[in-house]
Amino acid sequence: MTRTYVVTGSASGIGATTAQLLRDRGDRVIGIDLRNAEVEADLSMPQGRIDAAAQAIELAGGTIDAVIACAGISAPIPKTISVNYFGVTELLENLRPALTKSEAPRVAVVSSMASLQQNSPEMVEAALAGDEATALSIAEQYAAAGGMAGYIVYPSSKRALSRWVRRQSITPEWAGAGIPLNAVAPGTVVTPMTQELLSTVEQRSMVDANVPMPLNYHQPPESIANLLIWLTSVENTHLAGQVIYDDGGADASLRGDDIWSWND
Ligand code: NAD
């Protein structure tokens, strides 16, 4: 049965690969991106999230079977928290009414193994509280401090997103409405986002020291796209609230074997 997918970030990298794989198997894809997409919108802005959802729902004819949220940026600037956190969570909330009309609604978002890196707890808490102005002003302070300080915005945005997924996935709005909500956390994926970062030997060694990938090294976008497609398929009936580290073994390398001691 043909399903209707909304894919954000559909013009490049992981989103473009996901959209293409879905179209190849006959599914309908409504892409959302800044440009070169069925819906052109800026997800860094609250109005852009509202307009994008309204247009996508209209194009879909009112019912959306799945949303795969890939749009994101990694720059050390305040906008990164707006796109990567609010551009996902607010858009999903705006799309949720159309998902509830599907017989098998599913959602998957792209987080990052960077969610395991040093972050700003204050920025994460502000994001989780839905306070974009405060999250942005904290991010602004880090960016203005100069040097490497601004690089904390990206891991903070992804930590907040992973926590939002776990928190929301079990609520009446998501699990209660029969919508599995999960995240995929990639390692280093070869896309336009990482092209410059991986362009010199020195920068590659710096990336690899932070993101060890003993299994098959840097990954192609298909390695993430195929998992996103399974998570949003009819076959996924019980996987909810998970952040799946599809990262060549980076998470296992960094966190080791004991991540289950919460109730010891
Ligand atoms: P990419 O730069 O190739 O694609 C990102 C897409 O998002 C682009 O098409 C861009 O136009 C779109 N986008 C950016 N800002 C937007 C906005 N304000 N409104 C609408 N669309 C916007 O990057 P990618 O590597 O495919 O990244 C996809 C996702 O994967 C991102 O969330 C990224 O953080 C995450 N990720 C990537 C890597 C990696 O190594 N490439 C690793 C971990 C996580």
Return the CATH number at 56. Answer: 3.40.50.720
Atom 36 of ligand 1, residue of closest alpha carbon? 112
Q: How far, in Å, from the CA of 32 to the mean position of ligand 1?
A: 12
Q: Where does ligand 1 bind, in terms of residues with CB under 6 Å?
A: 9, 11-15, 33-34, 42-44, 70-74, 83-84, 87, 110, 112, 186, 188-189, 191-194
The number of folded domains in the chain is 1
Q: Is position 214 within any domain?
A: yes
- Using a 10 angstrom Cβ sphere, with 0-12 exposed, 13-18 middle and 19 or more buried, the burial of residue 103 is exposed
What is the span of the domain harbouring residue 201? 4-117+161-243
Q: How far is the CA of 87 from the centre of ligand 1 (A)?
A: 12
Helix axis angle, 87-99 relative to 46-60, nearest 10°? 30
**260: in domain:** no
pLDDT at res. 45: 98
List the residue whose alpha carbon is closest to atom 15 of ligand 1. Answer: 72
Per-block mean pLDDT, blocks of 10 residues, the chain (264 long) = 96 98 98 98 98 98 98 97 98 98 98 97 98 98 94 98 98 98 98 94 96 98 98 98 98 96 89
Does residue 134 fall inside a structural domain? no
Residue 250 lies in a domain: no
Residue 31 placed within a domain: yes
The answer to whether residue 133 sits within a structural domain is no
Residue 38 contacts residue 32 (beta carbons within 8 Å): yes
- Is residue 33 one of the residues assigned to a domain? yes
| Amino acid 1: pLDDT | 81
Q: Tell me which residue has its CA closest to atom 23 in ligand 1.
A: 193
154 carries an active-site annotation: yes
Would residue 188 count as lying in a domain?
yes
Q: Which of 9, 33, 27 is nearest to 65 (CA)?
A: 27
